[in-house]
Amino acid sequence: MSCDCNKKNKIRTLVGLVAGLILVCVLVSAVTSNLLTRKVDWSKHDEDDGHQWLHHELNLTPEETAAINAFEPEYRQNRAALQKQFQSKIEELRQEIVSSDEFSGEAEVIIHGLHIIHGQLQELSIRHYYQMMQVLPPEKQERLRNIAAKALSVPQ
């Protein structure tokens, strides 16, 4: 006579082992995904919460924060104005694409205008970067330099 309780214990152990392995795989995948998708780059500075994000990344003191906040409003204002111009050009290009069946001189002019505004946005950001570098201590300058360098290597 054989006992079914031994088979049931083996099945329970096997099911528990498989469930444990699945749980470990899910946890490892979640941690790996979090590490791989977490971005630390300068472009985040221009997002809605970017100003606070950068202050956190650099661990700014109240004095450093005050020094950066002195020129931040002008940067934000200039950036918003350029962004508005950029969106206007995008809308012009959209209208040109919808209304024309071929690449036109007008499309070329609009694209050129987009490039000019994009260049002005880049220059504004780089000038702002150098403003911040002037008020930071060397170790935070190095951290900001690394963040900015990573952002430049990633096409936006």
pLDDT (tens digit per residue) in 64-73: 999 999 999 9
pLDDT at 30: 61
Could you list the beta-strand ranges (E) of 111-156: none
In which residue ranges of the chain is pLDDT below 50? 39-44, 156
Give the Cα separation of 95 and 63 in Å (integer). 48
pLDDT at 75: 94
pLDDT at 19: 74
pLDDT at 87: 96
Judged by DSSP in three states, 153 sits in coil
Model pLDDT for residues 140-150, shown as the tens digit of each residue: 999 999 998 88
pLDDT at 71: 93
